[in-house]
């Protein structure tokens, strides 16, 4: 029996699958194995795709472009396995791994951004105190 709102059920399953992915790969495989209906697999994939596209929007431009290319390739995998539940499970695993990658890229971008902000603040404070090289007079030889 399918749920009254398959899209909401797919999104819930996507969140559950992502929570299991990496922590308990066996449980993630069991979740995928428990879905035998192509429709349920596709709705789970739609949930994963929505998450991936949403989270990729916050990446820096180069990583966002790469994520978009990977999403297109995942679409080819999905289309090639349109009526094959085992192939769709492969697609779902790859889609989940894509989200893990996007999240790790975002964490790196956040750290780089925080470090850059810290350097800027340090430099601004040094310039305000007159201790920065930029505020000292130029020397000639």
Instruction: Give the per-residue pLDDT at 137.
Output: 57
The DSSP string of the chain is ---S-HHHHHHHHHHHHHHHTTT-HHHHHHHHHT---HHHHHHHHHHHHHHHHHHHTTS-HHHHHHHHHHHHHHHHHHHHTTT-HHHHHHHHHHHHHHHHHHHHHHHHHHHHHHHHHHHHHHHHHHHHHT-SGGGSPP---
Percent of the chain with pLDDT over 70: 91
User: Rounded to whole angstroms, how far apart are CA atoms 136 and 18?
Assistant: 54
Q: What is the pTM of this model?
A: 0.77
Residue pLDDT, tens place only, 2-51 = 557 888 999 999 999 999 998 888 899 999 999 989 999 999 999 999 99
């Amino acid at each position: 029996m399918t749920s009254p709102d398959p899209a909401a059920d797919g999104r819930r399953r996507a969140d559950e699958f992502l929570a299991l992915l990496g922590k308990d790969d066996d449980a993630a495989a069991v979740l995928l194995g428990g879905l035998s209906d192509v429709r349920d697999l596709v709705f789970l994939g739609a949930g994963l795709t929505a998450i991936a596209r949403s989270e990729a929007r916050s990446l820096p431009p180069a990583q966002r472009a790469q994520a978009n290319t990977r999403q297109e390739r995942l679409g080819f995998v999905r289309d090639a396995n349109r009526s094959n539940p085992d192939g769709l499970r492969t697609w779902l695993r790859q889609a989940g791994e894509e989200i893990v990658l996007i999240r790790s890229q975002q964490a790196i971008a956040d750290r780089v951004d925080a470090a850059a902000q810290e350097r800027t603040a340090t430099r601004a404070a040094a310039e305000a105190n007159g201790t920065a090289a930029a505020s000292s007079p130029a020397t000639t030889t």
